Structure 1
Amino acid sequence: MLISEAEFGSIISRYKNVLYLCHRNADPDAIGSAFALAEAFGGAVGAADGLSRTGKKLSDTIGADVLIDPVAEDWDLIVVVDTSIHLQLGRISLSRYGLVDHHQDEGLLEGAEFYIQRPAKSTAEIVWKILKDNGRKPSREMALGLLVGIISDTGRFKRASAESFQAASELLEAGGFDYDEALQALSIAPDISQRIAVLKAASRAKIERQGEWLIASSRANSFEGSAASALIDLGADVAFVAGRHSGRVRISARSSRKAVKAGLNLNQMMGEIGRDHDGDGGGHSSAASFDAQGDPAPSCKDAGRWRLGSCLE
């Protein structure tokens, strides 16, 4: 059942024991959003598998106590936050749940008791509207967590909308802190293992030119998303980086703003490919991934099969 932000408070009040659950490798948008909802309406914050480094930094900064791999049966209701597909929840099996998310995948909609899903630039923007529409004033920590989520998911406002900027302004005023403090909650120097993984992926990269478009593919043992982003920074229009994890393949994809404006939608593409290989995938139009069965060997020949050429014309 689709609900509005204003309806969230009355519906969530029907449940006594609520968990706000983040996706695996939970990022600042997920952590900040789940924390704000738990503080405003009561409940606990959980995450599948663990937190990203920036997610952990934010949780420490705002004092969020995050339960890792909580048992679903212990809760009257689970509100899945910033998560679009079952695969992102690892081993956690859902029964009674709601959804608050800004992705456009439909994987979790059918079984949800209720959901709020619209194409905002971050889930934090949706959560901020939930708080406002239900008359809930944020604490300093809640406002900080939501602002950091917006900053993170918009790439420090490079992909921001008018709603993003308005929400950021309101959160700065509500929280009584300055922008630099929010940036400090995201500031983590990459550790040496991440730097090595990114550099190795760059050295292994294969490049295909399709007209004026450059498509890069590579492999990494970890940090596939960071490696794909680095290939975009180095000049690729689209980048795929694959790795193997626990017997399955994970491929992260990134694209330039130019490619997105030309019509490329990595969210749709990665979802289709993942399901074709006994898995699933999704994300954003410019940043997505999938997890599936198969061999982690993306090649430029695969790019043609994935219809990149028809997308980038």
Structure 2
Amino acid sequence: MERAVAEKEIRSLAKYKKIAIATHSRADVDGLSAAYALTKVYPNSVICSSEEPGEGAKMLAARLGIKVEDISNLKKSDFDGLVVVDTSAYTLLPEAKGWKILMIIDHHRAEGRDMQSDIQIVDVESPSTAEIIANILPEMDRETAFALSVGIIADGARFKSARTQTFETLAKLMTIANANYSELLAIAEPDPKDEAKIAILTAMKRLNFIYIGGYVVATTEVGSNESDAASLIAEAADVVFVAKWKDREKETRISARARASVKIPLNEVMDEVAKELGGAGGGHKKAAGAALKCHTDEALKTCIDIFSKKV
């Protein structure tokens, strides 16, 4: 979608009196920064999500005074509708079911996408939703530029998925925000808390690996921080699948990561795993995930089986 058209679509919602702006559960910096930027377009709006946000999102919220409501506590009748950013899958925000979705802004691929809206601004080539919004809004204040800068750095996997436009956009935002890179990086990649360190080290203790078609593929299970564990293990393995059992939802969450040299798109692997086991999966070629209606052992075995077939 062209910038002028996208800007017009975003501003078309300014006619509504009150909008809820939602991002996926366990909000990350990218989702939060995108939602925050839109509050400047829709002043009488509320940011919402579900579950506890990630550490970087907490730090950004504290830095800029961003308040995030639990979407489950919002009364739908008090709002004209919902704008969803950084996801388009009910699996990642099941509480959005029953809401009127006014607009979706996302950068994830089509696998697992089941939310519908008349306005959908989706760029699967963008490393982050923050970058999409930064390139649509014609002007912004220092706080918004700061938030979007952090979002771009956090979701870009240390610029492994960056494009030329990413660096141009970030440079512009940093100038507006008058912020240096180290200041932004401290929020984009915060030092893990003790519980996260323990979860990651436990994942490494439980790690198994197999050699498939020239790739070292690792699997493990954690009780929390599966995304952090996957990212760290991927520094050594070529591909990693990390599983976490969610007792309340009775499902397994998978975080998958791959090195840049891996030719198998993980979003396709996660989509096929979800179709076989029930649930939903998708994401990016090198960073993807799934929510599966089975226990962790079966989920990890199926990830390996489907990846093997694609090699």
Q: TM-score, with normalisation over the residues of structure 2?
A: 0.90
**Aligned residue number for residue 274 of structure 2:** 274
Candidates 68, 84, 91, aligned match of 2:88:
84
Equivalent residue number for residue 25 of structure 1: 26
Cα deviation, 1:74-125, whole Å, max 9, x if unaligned, reads: 3102110001211111333243211011112265566212110012111011
Alignment of 1:23-102 (within 5 A): 23-42=24-43, 43-69=45-71, 70-97=74-101, 98-102=103-107
Distance of 1:277 and 1:302 partners within structure 2: 8
Q: Secondary structure at the match of 1:254?
A: strand
Report the count of equivalent residues. Answer: 303
Counterpart amino acid of residue 53 in structure 2 = L
Percent identity, aligned pairs only? 30
CA distance in 2, matches of 1:18, 1:301: 42
Q: State the secondary structure of the residue aligned to 1:40.
A: coil
State the 1:63 CA deviation. 1.6
Conserved 8 A contact 1:225-1:252: yes
Q: Which residue of the partner structure matches residue 8 of structure 1?
A: 9
* Deviant stretches of 4+, over 6 Å: none
The alpha-carbon distance between structure 1 residues 172 and 203, as it changes in their structure 2 partners (threshold 3 A), is same
Q: In the alignment, what sits opposite 1:227?
A: 229
- Give the root-mean-square deviation of aligned CA atoms: 2.2
Query: What does 1:151-170 align with in structure 2 at a 5 Å threshold?
Result: 151-170=153-172
Instruction: Name which of 238, 250, 255 aligns with 1:252.
Output: 255
Q: CA deviation at 1:311?
A: 3.4
Q: Distance in 1 between matches of 2:300 and 2:275?
A: 20
| Cα distance between partner residues in 1 of 2:17 and 2:50 | 22
Cα offset, 1:299, TM superposition: 7.9
Partner of 2:203: 201
Instruction: Measure, in 1, the Cα distance between the counterparts of 2:115 and 2:70.
Output: 25
SS at match of 1:219: strand
Give the distance between the partners of 2:253 and 2:303, measured in 1 at CA: 16
Q: Is 1:173 matched with 2:175?
A: yes
User: Are 1:217 and 1:240, in contact at CA under 8 Å, matched by a contact in 2?
Assistant: yes
Q: Would you say the 8 A contact 1:279–1:290 is kept in 2?
A: yes
Q: Is the 8 A contact 2:90 2:115 kept in 1?
A: no
Q: Which digits, 9 at most, give the CA deviation of each residue in 1:264-297, with x for residues without a partner? A: 1111221232233231122211111111211211
- How has the CA–CA distance of structure 1 residues 115 and 156 changed in structure 2, closer, same or farther, with 3 Å as cutoff? same
CA distance in 2, matches of 1:221, 1:109: 28
Shift of the alpha carbon at 1:61? 1.1
Given that 1:48 and 1:90 are in contact with CA atoms closer than 8 Å, whether structure 2 keeps it comes out as no
Could you tell me the TM-score, scaled by structure 1's length?
0.89
How far apart, in 2, do the equivalents of 1:299 and 1:139 lie? 45
Residue aligning to 1:127: 133
Q: Distance in 1 between matches of 2:2 and 2:80?
A: 20
